[in-house]
Structure 1
Amino acid sequence: MNFLAHLHLADISKTDLAANLAGDFAKGDIKHFPKHLQQGIWLHRQIDQITDSHEIITDLVKLFPKTSRRVAPILIDLTFDHYLAYYWEEYHHQSLSEFTQKSYHSLENTNELPQKLVDIAPRIIEQDWLMSYQTREGLNKAIEGVSQRISKPELFNTAINDVDKLYVEIEIAFRTFYPQLMAYSRIYSRKTPEQYLP
């Protein structure tokens, strides 16, 4: 899952928003992270593990051309954020605009976040990444942005075209899988190991 999905799953599971987002930037053992971040990072990892191993996702990855299959999970994550933003009213009681502002507030006011998240947070907020996912143009910009932040940007040469070709298939996977992931996140938040509870 990408940024918007992790924030949404944090909100519906009543766990800390910025802490869940920190999971993308936290490596290795989480015991050294502040207590207020540990549950979110742990939950983020459970969500990623379920997603990466789920049959719906592994089957979807196989539909991508071999040349872009290594980055297919990233493209799926980004496109899932696009569909979540596009159909937002079906998944959350707040408007997307209200929710993004709440998320940005959490990012700005949570202490001791991983440095890489601290560094990128101003861009997330100033460029309003979460709202931009609603449109195809915003999705394409997100794909281009990720390609510029990795060591082998050439892996993304056909990424936008690949997503275009599989746009309907990705939507079907999102519509089928994401409600399950919402249920998983609520269950796992209740089963957080005691040592990671804030």
Structure 2
Amino acid sequence: MNYLAHAYLSFGNQEILLGNMISDFVKGKRQYLYPPVVHKGILLHRAIDDFTDTHPITQKAKSVFKAEYRLYSGAFIDVVYDHFLAKEQTAFPDEKDLYDFSQATYRALEKQKQVMPSGFDRMFVYMQSQNWLYGYRTLPGIYQSFGGLVRRAAYLQDSIPAIKIFDEHYHFLQGCFDEFWKDIRFFAVNKMNLLLSDNRTLP
């Protein structure tokens, strides 16, 4: 799952949201430097990623990108899942709901800027100013996300094949997301509640 999904799967808890969004920028033992609930958001993010990556539906969805992008196929599926989440009717019945959610997410993160790791802080400037979370709804926004993924990857050079694959397999990928979404949402809400109910410092 990518940024929109991690924001949505924070279920309105602002500290969980921050941890969920910054997790990829927090390495090793630095996770223990964050406030307890933010730390649990970091753990939630990693649990969501593990669940997603090993789910049989994700494996099926990744197959359409695998020949061209190999180990990066999962990263493209993360972006694809955010596109279909942005259009998911129970999550965001219309465009205004997604827009309002995006703005509320940025405001919640902005209030916690002093806790952000520097790498995420720099990226957040672009996320907010370019409204990435809303942009996942549109095809140009997804194509731009594919391009950003390629630019950040060490061994990728071209996002054009990803765009062609996405367009060609759009309905197949939509079906994969629809089947997967109910599972990840159920998993995430239960995992978050478990983390919040545990007062120990979790490894």
Considering the TM-score relative to the shorter chain, is it more than 0.5?
yes
Listed one character per residue, the Cα deviations across residues 14-33 of structure 1 (whole Å, up to 9, x for unaligned) are: 86322211112222232233
Per the TM alignment, residue 196 of structure 1 is displaced from its structure 2 partner at its CA by 4.7
Gap regions ≥5 residues in structure 1: none
The size of the alignment, in residue pairs, is 196
Q: CA deviation at 1:115?
A: 1.4
Q: Compute the displacement of 1:12 (Å).
A: 5.8
Offset of residue 155 of structure 1: 6.2
Are residue 97 (structure 1) and residue 99 (structure 2) matched?
A: yes
Alpha-carbon distance change, 34 to 7 in structure 1, aligned in 2, over 3 angstroms: same
- Select the residue among 98, 107, 110 that pairs with 1:108: 110
Is 1:179–2:171 an aligned residue pair?
no
Aligned counterpart, 2:199: 194
The answer to which of 188-197 and 126-135 deviates more is 188-197
Q: Which moved further from structure 2: 174-183 or 90-99?
A: 90-99
What is the rounded CA distance, in whole Å, between the counterparts of 1:195 and 1:155 in structure 2?
A: 46
Query: Which structure 1 residue ranges, 4+ long, deviate > 4 Å from structure 2?
Result: 12-15
Partner of residue 118 from structure 1, selected from 121, 129, 134: 121
Inter-partner Cα distance in structure 1 for 2:184 and 2:35: 26
Q: Which residue of 1 aligns with 2:81?
A: 80
After superposing the two structures, state which structure 1 stretch, 10-19 or 137-146, moved more: 10-19
* Greater mean deviation of Cα atoms: 135-144 or 21-30: 21-30
CA distance in 2, matches of 1:14, 1:174: 26
Mapped partners of 2:199, 2:188: distance in 1: 16
Gaps of 5+ in 2: none
Q: Tell which has more relative contact order, 1 or 2 (C-alpha 8 A, sep 6+).
A: 1
Structure 2 CA distance for aligned equivalents of residues 174 and 196 of structure 1 = 34
CA RMSD of aligned residues (A): 2.1
Taking structure 2 as the reference length, the TM-score comes to: 0.87
Letter in 1 for 2:105: S
Alignment identity in percent?
A: 28
- The change in CA–CA distance for 1:13 and 1:37 in structure 2 (over 3 A counts) is closer
Contact 2:25 2:119 in 1 (8 A): yes
